């Protein structure tokens, strides 16, 4: 299978005065293209640090991170920003939509940085919004949408550049149980279309939607196994 992510002896330390906090302690991990992976862990396990490094929001203290055949471990901030825009689609618990922009404008925003014309941006964004079932909400602003609809807009925005990975951080954390199931159905659909999904969650029932579950503890991988009890959708 084709690798999309490889972590080799990844270490991340934080320094507070004379104290060293070892957030990640030599992580080795491979994720293949079109895998659907859940990363779990309690507070202090290193889960958030792992997400930040996978999302190129931070860099490791040492070790190697290969994303789509490129070593991103030592890139500067401008280079990381370019990688984030091209290679990573983010879905956040709080949606992170711009209140003054319509659904179409929010979804099209990453294409501005990709240099697409306004006509191209609107055409592509419309198609992606239709794919997540929001063809009748294109002109609506976030405050005119339900929580589930806002998350669908965020998912559409994450997909707009056809990234190497979709990184979802607690994507159902602000949603009720019924809406959470709808969003997880959408992730399953996106995965079946060939996308690589990395789901960061502390909720076991949400993790069961993934094909593979990785559990972190004290900055190390405690368990990494195929999910034999995957929630069928």
Q: What's the pLDDT tens digit per position in 148-176?
A: 999 999 999 999 999 999 999 999 999 99
Q: Indicate which CATH number applies to the domain containing 165.
A: 3.40.50.300
d(CA 74, CA 160): 26
Averaged pLDDT, 42-49: 92
User: Which pTM value belongs to this model?
Assistant: 0.93
Question: Is residue 232 situated within a structural domain?
Answer: no
103-146 tens-digit pLDDT: 999 999 999 888 889 999 999 999 999 999 999 999 999 999 99
b/e 179-211 (16+ beta carbons within 10 angstroms → b): bbbbbbebbbebbeeebbbbbbbeeeebbebbe
Residue 233 pLDDT exceeds 80: no
Residue 200 pLDDT exceeds 90: yes
Question: Is residue 125 situated within a structural domain?
Answer: yes
Share of residues in the chain with pLDDT > 90 (%): 89
Question: Is residue 120 situated within a structural domain?
Answer: yes
What domain count does the chain have?
1
Q: What phi, psi does 122 have (nearest 5°)?
A: -65, -35
Question: Is residue 26 situated within a structural domain?
Answer: yes
Averaged pLDDT, 48-59: 94
Residue 181 pLDDT exceeds 90: yes
pLDDT of 231 reads: 75
Averaged pLDDT, 220-233: 88
The CB density around residue 152, as the number of other CB atoms within 10 Å, is 26
Question: Is residue 231 situated within a structural domain?
Answer: no
Question: Is residue 58 situated within a structural domain?
Answer: yes
SS3 167: strand
The CB density around residue 143, as the number of other CB atoms within 10 Å, is 9
Question: Is residue 233 situated within a structural domain?
Answer: no
**Which residue blocks in the chain are alpha helix, DSSP H?**
47-54, 77-87, 103-113, 118-131, 147-159, 177-192, 204-207
Distances (CA, A) of 23 to 41, 135, 143: 12, 43, 37
Share of residues in the chain with pLDDT > 70 (%): 99
Question: Is residue 164 situated within a structural domain?
Answer: yes
The C-alpha torsion from 112 through 109 and 65 to 213, rounded to 10°, is: -150
Domain that holds residue 112: 3-226
134-148 tens-digit pLDDT: 999 999 999 999 999
d(CA 127, CA 147): 21
């Amino acid at each position: 299978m084709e690798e999309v992510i490889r972590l080799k002896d990844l270490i991340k330390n934080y320094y507070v005065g004379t104290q060293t906090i070892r957030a990640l302690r030599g992580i080795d991990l491979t994720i293949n293209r079109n895998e659907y992976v859940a990363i779990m862990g309690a507070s202090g396990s290193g889960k958030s640090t792992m997400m930040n490094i996978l999302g190129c929001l931070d860099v490791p203290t040492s070790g190697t991170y290969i994303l789509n055949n490129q070593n991103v471990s030592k890139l500067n901030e401008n280079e990381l920003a370019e990688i984030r825009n091209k290679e990573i689609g983010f879905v956040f618990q709080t949606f992170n939509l711009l209140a003054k922009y319509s659904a179409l404008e929010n979804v099209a925003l990453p294409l501005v940085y990709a240099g697409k014309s306004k006509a191209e941006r609107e055409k592509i964004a419309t198609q992606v919004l239709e794919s997540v079932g929001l063809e009748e909400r294109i002109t609506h602003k976030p405050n005119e949408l339900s929580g589930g609809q806002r998350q669908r807009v965020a998912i559409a925005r994450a997909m707009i550049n056809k990234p190497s990975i979709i990184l979802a951080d607690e994507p159902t954390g602000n949603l009720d149980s019924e809406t959470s199931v709808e969003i997880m159905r959408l992730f399953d659909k996106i995965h079946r279309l060939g996308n690589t999904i990395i789901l960061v969650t502390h909720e076991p029932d949400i993790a069961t939607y993934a094909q593979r579950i990785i559990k972190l503890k004290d900055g190390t991988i405690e368990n990494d196994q195929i999910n034999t009890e995957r929630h069928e959708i």
